[in-house]
Structures are given as C-alpha cells and as structure tokens.
Amino acid sequence: MKLAVASGKGGTGKTTVATNLAFVAASQGRSVAYLDCDVEEPNGAIFLHPQIEEDRPVGVAVPKVDADKCIHCGKCGEICQYSAIVAMDDQVLTFAELCHSCGGCELVCPVGAISEDQREIGRLQAGRAGNVQFVQGLLNIGQAMSPPLIRAVKAAAPPADMTVVDCPPGTSCPVIEAVRGAEYVVLVTEPTPFGLHDLKLAVETVRKLKSPFGVLINRSDVGDLQTRAFCDRSRIAVLAEIPDVREVAEAYSRGVLAAEASAHYREGFDRLIERLDKEAAK
Amino acid sequence: MKELVVISGKGGTGKTSIVASLAWLAEKVVLADCDVDAADLHLVLTPEIIRRESFSGGKRARIKAGHCTACGKCEELCRFDAIFFDGPGNGRQDRTFRVDPIACEGCGVCAWFCAENAIEFAPAVNGEWFISRTRCGPMVHARLGIAEENSGKLVSTVRTEARRLAEQRGLELVLIDGSPGIGCPVIASITGASLVLIVTEPTLSGLHDLERVAALTRHFEIPAMVCVNKWDLNAETAAKIEDYARQRGLASAGRVRYDRAVTQAQIERKSVVEQGTSPCAEDIRAVWNAVRTAIETSA
C-alpha cells in the first residue's frame, strides 16, 4: 500500500501521523518504507532516529554553452520559458537557478553548442530506523525548486508492504509531486477555521489527482464542529479523530513518537492501520 | 516604506494569527497575504474585494486531437511525464496523445517540435489576486488555482501590488504573511524585505526548521527576529531556541504564551488582540513594540 500523508495547512500533525504509522506498521511485522518528501523542512528523522547509510547529492540538469561553437542564432533564448537562458548579440547568458531542466535549449541548438551540466539542489539520505526503511530529501538553502528532489526521494524508495510519504504543506507543485502515484491519501487537519479552509483546498487537490482519500482530525477537541460537519456533508471518510493530549504534545516537543509515549495512542494507530487496509482495498 | 515579512519555516506555529494581531496594532499599513497556496488571513480580516485580477504565471500545452498523428515525438521529448497516449481518436488514429495539465511544466518543448503543429501553447490562468478593504487597512491577497504552478510569481505579484498601494496612499508599512518552508514562495516573499519576523514553537521540529529558515534569511542577507509562540508548552526548548537565535545574531522579538483564546478568536473571526485583554494578547503587543522599534531603525 502506497500512502501519502498530506494536509493543506501546515502544523496539523502530518509528520506525527506519518512517523507513527510507519513505526506501528513496522512493529506489526510489515515491511515499511517512510519517505520524507517535505524536503524544505523534513522532520521525520527527529522522531524516527534513522541510521543514515547513504548520503548523496541530487542534481538537476542545466545548460552549459560552448561559446566557440555558438553562432548566436538566438533559438535557445526563444524556446526557454523560464528566462534561464538569454541569447544576446554577442554572448549567451545562463541563469541556472531559473532552469526547469526541460532540455529545450539543447534540442533546439542547431550547432550542438549546448550540453547538460548538473547543478546540486539538495541531498538524499537513506538508511534504517529500527524496522522502518527511511529516505529523506534535504533541499539546499536558497534553492527554490523542490519537485526534482521530491521525485528523487520517491525514486529511491525501497520495495515495501507499506510506503508512507510524508508530504509538504500547501496545494501547489511540491504537494502534487509528493502525492502523485499514491494509492490512498490521508489528509490531516485540525478543526479550526484555518484548518477547515485549507482542508477544503487539499480535498480539491486530491480530487483533481483522482486519489482516494480520507480525513484524520487531529486535536479534535480544540476548535469547533464545522470540520466534522463538512466531512459528513461531503461524504468524506473520517479515518480517526485524535484529541489534544498534553502528554502527547510534550512527547512531540521532545522528539518522541506518540505511539511510544502512550499505549493508548499505539492502539489508536493499530486501529487506523486496520481502517486504511480496508479503505485501500475498496 | 518598509516591508515586514512574517514566516515560520515549520507550518502551524501561529504565524497567521500573529499577523492578524499585528495588522490590528499597526497603523498606516498595507496587508499582503503571500501564503498563496493556503491563504488564511482573509478568514480573520474578512476583506471586501474591490478589485479582482486573474493571474497567469506561464503557458500550458494542449494537444488538438484532430491534428495529432500519434507519432509520439511529444511523449519522447517531455521530461515531466506529462504526456499520455490516451487521448480521443480522430478518424485516422484510434487514439491520440494528451497532455496532463497537472504534470505539464509549461516548457513548450512538445509544441515546438510537433511536426504537425498539433499542440497549442497558450497562457494558462493559474490563479487570481485581489485588492480589498479590511478594518485594518487595504489588503492584497491571492488564490492560486488548485494544483497550479508558479506560486513564486504570484507571491511577487502580490508584493508588488502591495508596495504600489502603499506608495499611492502614503502608507508606511507593508505587512506580509509568508508561507511555510524555505522554497520558492518563501524566497519570493522575503528577498529585499526590510525585516523578517520568524514565528516558531518550542518543539524540536520548530528548532530544526528555524535553523533552516534562519540560514535562508542569512543567505539573502535580510535582518531577522525570532518570536517563540506557545513558549510555555516546553520552556526548556523555548530557551534553547532563544539561545540558538542569539548565537546566530538573530534578535529576539519576545515570547507569546499558549492560550486557547487564540483558537476562540479565530472562530469569532477576530485577532486575539481585538478580542480584548488576555495574557497572550499582552505578549503579542510586546512583540509588536519590539518589531516596530527594529523596523523603524532598519535600512
């Protein structure tokens, strides 16, 4: 089962749900892979304490221009939609950080003056956290584009009975990249006006991607009843409601998994996994 | 005119709730919600929209099924796995190629190299932006379309319009609600700003994310201050975060205690400082005083 844990609003408990799911499923004897695709701010490692066995740079292709071959026809600048290559009368300038690696400039150059270079955008780290196979991406500081790194993290996923993708917040390209290909999406929210507003956006996003999904309401006793009402009205499965418990919040603040801190939570995640098995089989 | 950007690294630290309070406390201010893919500030400030514009951040390819000869060149050249061989038939071909609009990056390579000129490549509407009236001052905000690209460009549009509005009306401050993370929309919201206020929380995740976001402000050489929200949830980590900030030359903007009044205010569509006196509202007033002083002396 390939699961994505996403949210719309940040800070609703995505990483809490994803890491606990991975930990509890692994302790049931399943083979589990946890992929931290929140590459701008990855936090899964704080809770899973992985032993990193592999650490390598991830690059993207950017153009390199051979000035001796260039005939200044201007085609490269014409095809580029991102202003990453600008053809002037006497020289060609490249702006690697704007490049989306589409390969257009190299294809269009009539004299083969453009080749591809690699530019590092982040690192990929993989290893084991107990029985969980762990992979994370770390975007380099100052890099704007995370989707290629998210793609690399997903490509490095080891085969497993259960794959848990911890997604970035929001609804734009990084989220799409992380959620793409998931067999089931768990949307984590909190029952506040901000949480509900962003949940509605997240629901529209996963509907557009045609992924089956359900909602988990975290800190369910804080806020109001509108989120539950929205899910019921829209016939969205509510997978679980997790109350706000101070001992769990404190465990979180220290980097301890809720399922380790509380037997009650551990049982809650056992039930959630059972529910996900059923939902994914539908 | 100065620009103050509030960001957090980690999501859900209370950034927008604090921005709503600062909006109420600040005078002569233009508000800009640059968290364009999960914008929430309007839920508290209930803006009345006076101008609405569509936003196009780039182009998108579309295959005209009637012209497609199913040669497969587009699929071969596309680097984004955006082309599928499941388009409708056209009399000569049983099926044609189709562009998945969600996966399409708008590079135009397929359209350029299509021998049949069967691929349309036209500006896509990726979202909308608005100028509104609120009880705290004018506001520029936006909505990125679902599953759309170019959030950075939309952020830049919102910032530019907010600055223009401030100049036109002689307002002194643009207060920007940023997005979580350290990527494209965050970079677009902070570059060239007068001051960044980082709102964090006393958890290991909060500390870890602060380290990365502080590295980002340093990278772009923007002065930054740190405010620990909900500090009393873990006083020890709060102190650790403040130590870290001090070592990195980040000024402290103070602490805000955990208070369920914040959620209650959100439900009432108010900022916590408007709602009346609560200990947490007093903390936020102190944060505002610290930030105001810093911004007045900023370049």
Share of chain B above pLDDT 70, in %: 100
pLDDT, averaged across chain B: 95
- Give percent of chain B above pLDDT 90: 93
| pLDDT surpasses 80 at B299 | no
Mutate which: B34, B36, B40, B272, vs A, most A CBs within 10 A: B40
Domains B2-56+127-297 and B59-124 share a fold: no
Residues of chain A numbered 27-86 and touching chain B (CB < 8 Å): 38, 40-41, 43, 46, 79, 81-82
Question: How large is the average pLDDT for residues B94-100?
Answer: 97
Q: State the alpha helices, DSSP H only, in B127-278.
A: 151-169, 184-190, 204-219, 235-247, 261-267
Task: Look at residue A235 and tell me whether its pLDDT is greater than 90.
Answer: yes
What are the angstrom distances between the C-alpha of A27 and each of A21, A45, A259?
A: 10, 18, 11
Q: Can you give the pLDDT at residue B146? A: 86
The pTM of the whole model exceeds 0.90: yes
Of B148, B182, B203, the CB nearest to A40: B182
Q: How confident is the model at residue B277 (pLDDT cuts 50, 70, 90)?
A: confident
Centre a 10 Å sphere on the Cβ of residue B25 and count the other Cβ atoms it contains.
Answer: 20
Contact A193 B37 (CB under 8 A): no
B208 has pLDDT over 80? yes
In the prediction, which pLDDT does A269 show? 96
Strands B48-55, B127-134: parallel, antiparallel or unpaired by DSSP? antiparallel
Q: How far is A143 from chain B (nearest CA, A)?
A: 6
Q: Mutate which of A97, A138, A172 to test chain B, going by most B C-beta atoms within 10 A?
A: A172
Nearest CA in chain A to B17: A194
* Mean pLDDT score of chain A: 95
Tokens describing residue B38: 């999960």
Q: Does pLDDT of A177 surpass 90?
A: yes
Which residues 110-149 on chain B approach chain A with CB closer than 8 angstroms? Answer: 112-113, 144, 146-149
Amino acid B298: pLDDT: 82
Nearest to B107 among A11, A102, A222 (CB): A102
Band (pLDDT 50/70/90 cuts) for residue B39 is very high
Taking domain B59-124, whether its CATH number is 3.40.50.300 is answered by no
Task: Note the pLDDT of residue B148.
Answer: 83
How do residues A184-217 score in pLDDT, each as one tens digit? 999 999 999 999 999 999 999 999 999 999 999 9
Residue of A43, A102, A180 lying closest to B205 (CB–CB): A43
Q: How many CB atoms lie within 10 A of CB A207?
A: 12
pLDDT on residue A236:
97
So where are chain B's domains?
Answer: 2-56+127-297, 59-124
Please state, as a whole number, how many other Cβ atoms lie within 10 Å of the Cβ of residue B264.
Answer: 17
Q: ipTM, 2 decimals?
A: 0.93
- B150 pLDDT above the threshold of 80: no
pLDDT on residue B281: 96
Neighbours of A166 (CB within 10 A): 27
> CA distances (Å), A135 to each of A88, A211, A257, in order?
43, 23, 18
Q: Kindly tell me if the per-residue pLDDT of A281 is higher than 90.
A: no
Q: How far apart are alpha carbons B135 and B20 in whole angstroms?
A: 11
Report the DSSP beta bridge partners of residue A57: A123
Distance in angstroms (rounded) separating the CA atoms of residues B129 and B113: 34
**Placement of tokens 């500081």 in the chain:** A141
Tell whether B38 lies on the interface with A, counting CB pairs under 8 A.
yes
Tell me which residue in A108, A175, A253 faces B202 most closely, judged by beta carbons.
A253
Q: Does B219 touch chain A (CB under 8 A)?
A: yes
pLDDT > 90? residue A36: yes
pLDDT band at A247 (very low <50, low <70, confident <90, very high): confident
Q: Give the N- to C-terminal CA distance of chain B in Å, as an integer.
A: 10
Other Cβ atoms less than 10 A from the Cβ of B279: the count is 11
Instruction: Please check the confidence at residue B149 and state whether its pLDDT lies above 90.
Output: no
Report the number of secondary-structure helices (H) and strands (E) in chain A.
11, 11
Residue B169 C-alpha, separation from nearest chain A C-alpha, in angstroms = 30
- Beta carbons of A194 and B43 less than 8 Å apart: yes
Domains of chain A: 2-58+126-281 (3.40.50.300), 67-112 (3.30.70.20)
Instruction: Calculate ∠ Cα B80-B85-B86, nearest 5°.
Output: 115
% residues pLDDT > 70 (chain A): 100
C-alpha Rg value of chain B to the nearest Å? 23
Give the pLDDT mean for B37-47.
95
Q: Which of B3-7, B35-39, B119-123 has the lowest mean pLDDT?
A: B35-39
CATH topology of domain B2-56+127-297: Rossmann fold (3.40.50)
Contact A171 B38 (CB under 8 A): yes
Per-residue pLDDT, averaged over B140-160, amounts to 91
pLDDT in tens, B223-250: 999 999 999 999 999 999 999 999 999 9
Q: What is the pLDDT of residue B24?
A: 97
